[in-house]
Chains A and B, each alone.
Chain A
Amino acid sequence: MYKLLLSWRYLRSRWIALASIISVTLGVATMIIVNSVMEGFTQEMHDRLHGILSDVVVESVGLGGIAAPDEHERIIREELGADLEGVTAAVRVPAMLNCQVRGQWVTQQVMLIGIDERTYGSVSDFSKYLKHPANREQLSFLLRDGGFDSPLPSSGWEHRRLRVGTERAYREELLRAEETRRAAEVPPGVETPLAAEPSRIAESANEAPRADNAELAKDAQRAADGEAASDTNRGSAAVGAQAEGPLADVASGPAPQDPFRRRRSGGSDFAAAAGSSPTGTEGLGAEGMAAEGMAAEGLAAEGPANLFDELTEQHTGIVLGIAITSVRHRSQDGTVQDFFLARPGDDVQITFPNSGQPPKAVSDKFTIVDMYESKMSEYDSSFAFVPLSRLQDLRGMIDPRTGVGSVTSIQLRLRKGADLDAARDKLRRRFPIEQYQYRIETWRDLQGPLLAAVRMETTILNILLFLIIAVAGFGILATFFMIVVEKTRDIGILKSLGAPSGGVASIFLNYGLALGIVGSGVGMVLGLLFVAYINQIAAGLEWVTGQEVFDPTIYYFQQIPAIVKPFTVAWVAVGAVLIAVAASVLPSLRAARLHPVRALRYE
């Protein structure tokens, strides 16, 4: 009884001891905060790292790829059995992405991934990061009308129509000005005045990409020649072009050579019905393309031309990472904004190696149909997704005899909770590296260094912080020794009254326990409160210091993530209490061993 009473009285009358416990409080609070934030970061990073990656990847080392994906898929299904939840084949090639921004070409380096849009969703969380709600349900490489999520500005067909319309109106305006000028210079009666200087016309229309022109010219040529005249619905476009008399002559000027032959057959799937829109035919004149003019001049009468109407058709769809074509910056009022160089509805040109030996560069135009934001900047700034069959086709990966396309990687999703490493090892045994040039890795292997770094960081932080609490323990030890010395006479009195040594020791142990509980309890409350209001506190600190504590342009997150794990909190709190008790053991023993007579005589 006296033990509790005295411990309690000492607790109330010895504020110095409470001061010594403050370090425990701070240590506990810090540990809880750091662990929560690190846990939040780790969790967030795991999610993001894993986000668009599948669980296990079987990847061919060479760009040639895995020849018979179906056969491999069958073997993998056999190997993994029930653990396997989804399988998809993909082609990954490094590529160069070009897009035109205000007349300037911007080049980005991307990892071009051909995916099967029907099955890719089953192996990764890719689709849930897409910006169009309908695409999140089921990805389609057809451009949607609109309704993309923020931060995308107006996108899709609505943007495409607006952009193309504006461009055409602008060019028409330029042409008209040129015509007027020419009409003033050249006396009437001269037929086809523009034909005299075709190059100047071409220059005046420099809003249109030259390569595009050239390509289209080539296309038109081929279409007219009847080589690839599979599309009949493009005839109206040609007719529209033919109707513009003056331009037809312009087209007879020299056109740049297109190094790559455009394959319309693949892209035609994605073309909307060109003739359905009356604005399309009207606008073509403004487009003023030499190619169309040429087609119209020479061969229009012979059949439907295979022409591409930007207004109503799209190229093959592509899904880009949001950071590939956007620049994140901070506006004047301090909010973080994204500026988009290209958005869904715009076209980009992509150049990548084909599967030839040695590889040669292949180019094609793609229309951005959606973007994804996994918030993992590494992915968001490099991965571009296109339809698998189109990429196989462009790279020449389809066997002309069998019609089977090869792939460069097979991606697997395993059952939740399945042992990824075991599955990986199983597959590695089945496809030994000596025989098959496959790299078989789990997503953790792929992100190994980063995950290991985070883990090590957490461990070291915990060790350091626990050392802080241990230092606090030495503080308690010193303070308690002081208190024992100060209380020497009281200890003698208690002993003279018949208190056993154990009882005297337990006064100080109780005292230590009480201090530990108070210290770590307060620390726990402080820490949890801090974690709960961590973003507000960060904002407050920013306001006070004028220094940005958490810069969203650097980190992946807009806010500081924090996850409180009850187990960690309990562990930290109990650990701190134990340290406080452990620190009071020595002083207690000293108190217990005090000789009663010497203690009574102590001044």
Chain B
Amino acid sequence: MIRSHQSLPNGESVDELKDGSAGLGRDAGYGGWLARLDSPHPSRGVVDTAASESKDVAGPVVKSAAGAVAAASARRNGIHLAAKAVKKSYRKGHVSIPVLRGVDFEARPGEFTAIVGQSGSGKSTLLHLLGTLDAPDAGEIHLRGQRIDNIAARERDVIRNRRLGMIFQFYHLLPELSTLENVLAPVMIREGVFGYWRKRRENVARATRLLEMVGLGHRLAHRPRELSGGEMQRAAIARALIAEPEILLADEPTGNLDRQTGREILSLLRTLNDEHHLTIVMVTHDLAIASQADRTVRLVEGLVEQV
């Protein structure tokens, strides 16, 4: 299904992409994975979903020397994203309903973690807290050791925009924008009018490449309502990746898709994790899907139950 992999343009744009990621001023270990996307040795194993299901994380990817270095540095750096004793409750009238009652959670660099739990167990809430979409009542959220739950809203916006990528159960594409524009949205948010206009060609090229990677190269000008569920989720993944984030947060990415499509989306995530060592935190209620993650965290009534 990931046929677009073969059709990726090679060569000339790699350097400028590297420059672009360097310009973001991030650790080389996390940046530049998109550049490696275009590496001259694309994984053959990705095409076969079964193959990627194998727990062999290092697998074919370590063939790339750069990938090996990145993976090694990621492991050395320890905890990537962490929630420490996080509490969150929602008010309904006068009644306060606790959702998270002191959750500790850690995601290591390059790790694919699944958070599972019953409906109402607080897994989505945890993900929102990790993604700084919401603030915890108590406890802390750390991104690579830096506390991010109590910083200014503007800084959180920047973190969401540049360092975190998010995908949702209901895709959450903007209906007024075409697929390509949806993918470009984070870049548009980051840049002013003139800045965006200056780097437009480069950004469009990158977005196009990403869409081709997720298999939507033929859907650039379509509006979201003209796409199928799977295609919308691919577009959402492409959008999450355009900013070259360190971490991908996925909230029930397959929850609204049929089994086959869900498997395809999951294999795409798996590939991103396998080949590019993208740290992924995925929330799901489906244990079969969670089983493909490196590690599973179970939430029960607002508390972590280690598996």
* Chain A residues proximal to chain B, CB less than 8 Å: 1-2, 4-6, 9-10, 13, 489-490, 492-501, 503, 595-597, 600
Contact = CB atoms under 8 A, between A and B. Distances in A.
A14 to B, nearest CB: 9
Given A498-B157, A595-B134, A596-B134, A1 B172 contact: no
A500 B160 CA distance: 10
20 contacts: A1-B191, A1-B197, A2-B185, A5-B177, A5-B181, A9-B177, A10-B176, A493-B172, A493-B174, A496-B160, A497-B239, A498-B157, A498-B158, A498-B190, A499-B157, A499-B189, A500-B157, A597-B128, A600-B133, A600-B168
B3 to A, nearest CB: 28
Interface in B137-184: 153-154, 157-162, 166, 168, 172-177, 181
Contacts of B174: 6, 490, 493-494
A497 B189 contact: yes
A492 B189 contact: no
A10 B134 CA distance: 28
A497 B188 CA distance: 10
B83 to A, nearest CB: 16
Contact of A4 (B157, B161, B162, B193): B193
A496 B169 CA distance: 14
Contacts of B193: 1, 4
Contacts of B133: 495-496, 596-597, 600
B20 interface: no
Contacts of A501: 153
A229 to B, nearest CB: 101
Contact of A498 (B162, B172, B195, B196): B162
Which interface class (under 10, 10 to 19, 20 to 34, 35 or more) fits B? 20 to 34
B176 A494 contact: no
B42 interface: no
B192 to A, nearest CB: 7
B247 to A, nearest CB: 13
Contacts of A496: 131, 133, 160, 166, 168, 172
B255 interface: no
A492 B168 CA distance: 12
A485 to B, nearest CB: 15
Interface in B223-251: 239
A48 B305 CA distance: 95
Contact of B188 (A2, A13, A493, A495): A2
A500 B172 contact: no
A5 B182 CA distance: 11
A6 B173 CA distance: 13
Contacts of A490: 174-176
A6 B182 CA distance: 11
Contacts, number: 76
Contacts of B190: 498
A497 B181 CA distance: 13
A600 B154 CA distance: 19
Contact of A497 (B134, B160, B175): B160
Contacts of B131: 496
A499 B191 CA distance: 11
B217 interface: no
B177 A492 contact: no
Contacts of A492: 172
A490 B192 CA distance: 20
Given A9-B176, A498-B159, A499-B189, 5 more contacts: A2-B188, A496-B166, A497-B239, A498-B190, A596-B133
A498 B186 contact: yes
Nearest to A12: B176
Nearest to B172: A493
Question: Among A1, A4, A492, which residue has the most Cβ atoms of chain B within 10 A?
Answer: A1
A592 B175 CA distance: 19
B128 A497 contact: no
B134 A494 contact: no
B123 to A, nearest CB: 13
B181 A500 contact: no
Question: Among B186, B189, B197, which residue has the most Cβ atoms of chain A within 10 A?
Answer: B189
A7 to B, nearest CB: 10
A600 B193 CA distance: 26
Contacts of A498: 157-162, 186, 189-190
B177 A503 contact: no
Contacts of B196: 1
A235 B128 CA distance: 123
8 A-B pairs closest in CB distance? A498-B161, A9-B176, A498-B160, A2-B188, A1-B196, A1-B188, A596-B133, A493-B172
Contacts of B160: 495-498
A120 B236 CA distance: 88
A180 B74 CA distance: 143
A395 B190 CA distance: 93
Contacts of A6: 174, 176-177
Contacts of B239: 497
A493 B134 CA distance: 14
